[in-house]
Structure formats: C-alpha cells, structure tokens
Amino acid sequence: MTKPDLMMLCPQRPAAMAQLDAAYRVHRWDLAPDKEAFLAQHGPACRALATNGHAPLTRQMLDLMPRLELVACSSAGFEGFDLATMAQRGIALTNSSPALCDDVADTAILLMLAARRGLVAADAWVRSGDWARKGPFPLQTSVAGSRLGVVGLGTIGQAIAERGAALGMQVSYWNRRDKGAQWRFVPDLVQLARESDTLVAIVAGGEGTRGLISAEVIDALGPQGLLVNVARGSVVDEEALIDALSSGRLGHAGLDVYASEPDPDPRLTSLPNTTLLPHHASATVQTRDAMAQTVVDNLAALFAGRELLTPVDLGAYLPG
C-alpha cells in the first residue's frame, strides 16, 4: 500500500518522527537547499503538512500545495501562518495547546513567585556572601490575598486562574467575550490592570493582539504591579514596558517571551526589576513529546476520516 505524502516544514521529536516516517512518505522541506523548488516538486501530492509555529507558511507556499487539507502544528502559536488563505481554502489547522497547558501555566506561576519573592536576587545574596556580610535578605511581597488578572481565558488562561486561586489570590480576567467562568469578568483591560497586583498575558500572538498590553495598561498596573508574559512578545508594547520599568512606573516584569528572540533588547535584559526565561515555558521532555504526538494523532485522524483532535477555529480569519 502506498504511503500518503506528508510535507514536513519542521522536524518533530524522535518518537513522533519515527511514527511519521513509518506511516507517511515524508518530504523534508526543512532540509531542502532550494525550498521553493522542493515545494513545487512535492507539494502537489501532499494532503497534509507538519510544522511548528516558528516556520512561516505563506500564501505562496500554500499555492504550491493545492491538495492541502490539514496543517498540523506542534506548538500553540501560529502567527507566521497565512490564516486568511487557509480559512478561505478550507484548510484545517490543529495545534498543541492542550498538551502544553500545564507547563505554561506552571511557568506563569513560577515567574510570578520568583518575581514577588526576589528569587534571582536572593540566590545571588547567598552565593555572594552578602547574607553573612549584610544580614538577612530584604523583605519581599506575598501573593496570598493579592489580586491576579488573567488576560485571555483560553485553556491555559483557565489553568493559570485555577493555580492563582489555589494560592489564595483574588482572580479576575479579561477576554474578548465573557466565558461565564467562576472568576470575575472585566471587559475593560485597563480597568483589569488597575484592579490587579499581577497581570498575566496568555493570549494568542499575531496582528489581532499586537500591543494589546499597551502603555495605558502598563501604567494602570502601576509602580507596585507585576506584569507576567507567557504569551508572545508581540502582545506587549515593549518600548512602553522598558520605559515604565526604567522610570519605576511599573514595579516588575516576569517574561518568557520578547519582541526580538533570541536576542532581547539589552535595555530590557539589563534592568534589575525583571525576571527572565528564554521562551522556555513548554520546554520539558514530557510536554514537547506530547506536543509532537498531537501532530501524529491529528494526521492519523485526517487520513482515517475521523474528527480532528485539536482543531483551531479559523472562522474569524475568513475575509469579509
């Protein structure tokens, strides 16, 4: 029996790759020296494509795959894809949000606690000998009883809210629509920031959310406020963030993502009131394996004629 053709823009984890190699005739675009020619040669035979959110998927690329039915993405984000063209052509998209939910939610809480308790500075205090020379580390800030604002109440946002509530925090959220959740819905993002001690951004990237955490939102969070971003760097107005942190108008930022990666703005990384991770929220062996497995499982569903496991609604991207 002839194996179906599969276009591979980005390699997957070893266990997933072994399954894909066994089930499909895999065309490795990522290894091709002339990528356009490679797509022109092999793209017409492919009903499915495997990738992650870091590779581009343009209209020109899609035009070279006229039979394409599914883009199976092993990451949560997909802002580099031409979603309007995909929606117009009826190409389905799946991603891995459920697989990475717990690790990303845990990382948001990790950044919050590390920032509020001064973990990085406290570690240096012990290692440098300042504890013996200068005495106890300065008092820090408790999170129990404080106010948590969650920006985006999708799957991961709900997990962050649940963790915040378990820590004794008062949880509110902003979303494009009221999700009818157990926590207080605040339709105005500036108001949510004003009424929060910690604001966590966990919305999708892309043009629709670019600069959503604006200068006005940052100023509303205030000089005692903490901004945590585990979404995408584009979600935050980084110039405004740097200015607010430098001037003391914002207390602290806990960041996993940046406007420029992997080389964040040195004005940001040099600030003492930042706690930083290298876009690592989902980066555990278990979660990355599970993310890759969603690609395998969604592809299997397509070719078996079954319902896709983790579809993304592209209805909002239809022109007009």
* CA distance linking residue 244 with residue 241, whole number of Å: 5
Task: Kindly give the pairing relationship between strand 92-94 and strand 170-174.
Answer: unpaired
Question: Any bridge partners for residue 27, and if so which?
Answer: 7
Active site residue 207: no
Q: Assess whether 261 carries a catalytic annotation.
A: yes
Cα–Cα distances (Å) from 289 to 202, 230, 233, 285, in that order, read: 22, 20, 24, 6
**Cα–Cα distance between 128 and 122 in angstroms, integer?**
10
Name the residue with tokens 């490795």: 28
Nearest Cα residue to 249 out of 283, 200, 212, 215: 215
- Longest CA pairwise span in the chain (Å): 74
How far is residue 15's CA from residue 246's CA, in Å, rounded to a whole number? 46
Q: Is there a contact between 93 and 83 (Cβ–Cβ < 8 Å)?
A: yes
Active-site residue, selected from the candidate residues 116, 163, 232, 252: 232
Q: Which of 25, 216, 261, 306 is catalytic?
A: 261
Residue given tokens 């395998």 in the structure block: 296
Pair of tokens at residue 303: 């070719």
Catalytic-residue membership of 69: no
| Residues forming the active site | 232, 261, 279
